[in-house]
Amino acid sequence: MREVSRVTNSARDSYVESNGDKDPERDAGVSHSAGFGDDDRGLRHTDRTRQDCAGRGSSHVDEYAAIAAVTFLASALTSYLSIRCSNRPRLSTRIERVADMIFLGGLVGITLVATLFAYEVI
């Protein structure tokens, strides 16, 4: 471990001697904080986006997406019920059809939400 730090320090010393007081890590763009350093552009962008959305009024995307999620949950539950009722074939088939219809309704709903959101309608 000491050998590595000695080599690193001697490399830094020779760099500083040849380039003045410049920091070799700063010149190379090296950051010791995994890229988070003093650069908060990502956070500023998030704040700006939040302000833009707040300025446009409320968006109902979350509510519509939640409705679609509940639809998928209902589909999964009816599908599970269909499997559990496999000893009664007519009932199982009927419940399976209901599950399929609910699932297709959820797919159409989430597609509409995504499309309307993409075109900034909602």
Query: What pLDDT does 122 receive?
Result: 83
DSSP per residue over the chain, as a string?
-HHHHHHHHHHHHHHHHHHTT--HHHHTT--TTTT-SS--HHHHHHHHHHHHHHHT----HHHHHHHHHHHHHHHHHHHHHHHHTTTSHHHHHHHHHHHHHHHHHHHHHHHHHHHHHHTT--
From residue 91, how far is each of 79, 97, 99 by CA, in Å?
12, 10, 12
- 45 belongs to a structural domain: no
- 41 belongs to a structural domain: no
Instruction: State pLDDT tens for residues 24-46.
Output: 555 555 555 555 555 566 656 56
- Tokens 């070799």, residue located: 24
Shared domain check, 65 and 25: no
- 73 belongs to a structural domain: yes
Q: In the predicted model, is pLDDT for residue 23 greater than 80?
A: no
Instruction: State pLDDT tens for residues 77-115.
Output: 999 999 999 999 999 999 999 999 999 999 999 999 999
Q: List the domain range (segments joined by +) for residue 84.
A: 60-122
Measured at the CA of 41, the angle between CA 28 and CA 120, to 5 degrees, comes to 140
- 36 belongs to a structural domain: no
Q: pTM of the predicted model, to two decimals? A: 0.54
Shared domain check, 70 and 15: no
Number of folded domains that form the chain: 2
